[in-house]
């Protein structure tokens, strides 16, 4: 099964208008590597400006509310993100599950709301270090995926990002064998829920992917791209990851 590689930068709480030049430079990288789908999920304050300069890379948000509107101070609906210029949104990032205590039911509801508003979704799942050390990683993350998956999940608008929580921002990564086992387990979990369309759905790796390890990670059969944090903040650091995805694709 051939799935186009997807490389998405998650800028988290980084980025001011002064960094718009980096977005333009990353967009040029995307133009040069058409085999790879490239995106940037930037702070909400940058979505409008970023979408105004991006031509080949898509711009996304980092979260949305599950409601269309209402008394939810400080929150943004999926329709608001779309109006600002977003094409996609992250749902269930580990930092939101941990820091904002989001449940898998919340994540599924957000994915539904985003899809109804016309956004694509990157749905995140992952295990803690304790769960990994206990030998339960594949079972825990597969269960979390199924609990977070919206009923109408389809590869046309949904991708999965596997985040080993203990690896995010630490520079640590699982072994290639561990990544391979996890991505295969997630593919099987998807097949149990959505059938043959699971083979079309992209599963991204999201734990400290960088220019040094991207080639090895993207060579794994069920690794269809990356959700990249710190290494996506500059074109210089992001370029070798996009290059590796183009070579692997």
Domain locations in the chain as residue ranges:
6-248
Distance CA 107, CA 223 (A): 22
Distance CA 231, CA 237 (A): 5
Q: Residue with structure tokens 């694709």? A: 249
- Is 70 exceeded by the pLDDT of residue 1? no
Residue 167: which pLDDT band, with cuts at 50, 70 and 90?
Answer: confident
Global pTM value: 0.97
CATH 3.40.50.2300: does it fit domain 6-248? no
| pLDDT value of residue 12 | 98
Is 72 among the catalytic positions? no
- Do residues 72 and 100 make contact, with C-beta atoms less than 8 angstroms apart? no
* Core vs surface per residue 203-233: b (16+ CB within 10 A) or e: bbbbbbbbbebbeebbebebbbbbbbbbbbb
- In sequence order, the 6+-apart residues with CB closer than 8 A to the CB of 180 are 220, 221, 222, 223
Is 163 among the catalytic positions? yes
Mean pLDDT of 30-37: 98
Of 22, 37, 93, 138, catalytic: 93
| pLDDT value of residue 78 | 98
Q: Which DSSP category does 17 fall into?
A: G
Token duo for residue 203? 């599963």
Of 37, 102, 127, 163, catalytic: 163
**How many of the other CB atoms lie within 10 Å of CB of 127?**
24
- Is 80 exceeded by the pLDDT of residue 112? yes
Decide: helix, strand or coil at residue 144.
Answer: helix
| pLDDT value of residue 173 | 77
* pLDDT one-digit tens code per residue, 46-59: 999 999 999 999 99
**How many of the other CB atoms lie within 10 Å of CB of 199?**
14
- Do residues 237 and 211 make contact, with C-beta atoms less than 8 angstroms apart? yes
């Amino acid at each position: 099964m051939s799935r186009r590689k997807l490389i998405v930068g998650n800028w988290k709480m980084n980025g001011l208008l002064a960094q718009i030049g980096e977005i333009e430079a990353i967009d040029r990288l995307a133009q040069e590597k058409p085999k790879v789908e490239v995106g940037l999920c930037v702070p909400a304050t940058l979505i409008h400006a970023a979408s105004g300069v991006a031509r080949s890379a898509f711009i996304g948000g980092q979260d949305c509310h599950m409601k269309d509107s209402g008394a939810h101070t400080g929150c943004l609906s999926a329709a608001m993100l779309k109006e600002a210029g977003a094409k996609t949104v992250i749902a269930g990032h580990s930092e939101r599950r941990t820091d904002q205590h989001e449940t898998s039911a919340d994540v599924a509801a957000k994915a539904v709301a985003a899809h109804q508003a016309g956004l694509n979704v990157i749905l995140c799942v992952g295990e803690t270090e304790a769960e990994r050390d206990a030998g339960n990683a594949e079972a825990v993350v597969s269960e979390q995926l199924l609990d977070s998956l919206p009923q109408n999940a389809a590869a046309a608008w949904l991708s999965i990002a596997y985040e080993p929580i203990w690896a995010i921002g630490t520079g640590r990564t699982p072994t290639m064998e561990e990544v391979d086992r996890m991505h295969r387990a997630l593919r099987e979990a998807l097949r149990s829920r959505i059938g043959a369309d699971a083979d079309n759905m992209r599963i991204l790796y999201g734990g400290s992917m960088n220019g040094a390890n991207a080639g090895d990670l993207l060579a794994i059969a069920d690794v269809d791209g990356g959700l990249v944090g710190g290494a996506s903040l500059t074109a210089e650091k992001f370029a070798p990851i996009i290059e590796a995805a183009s070579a692997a694709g």
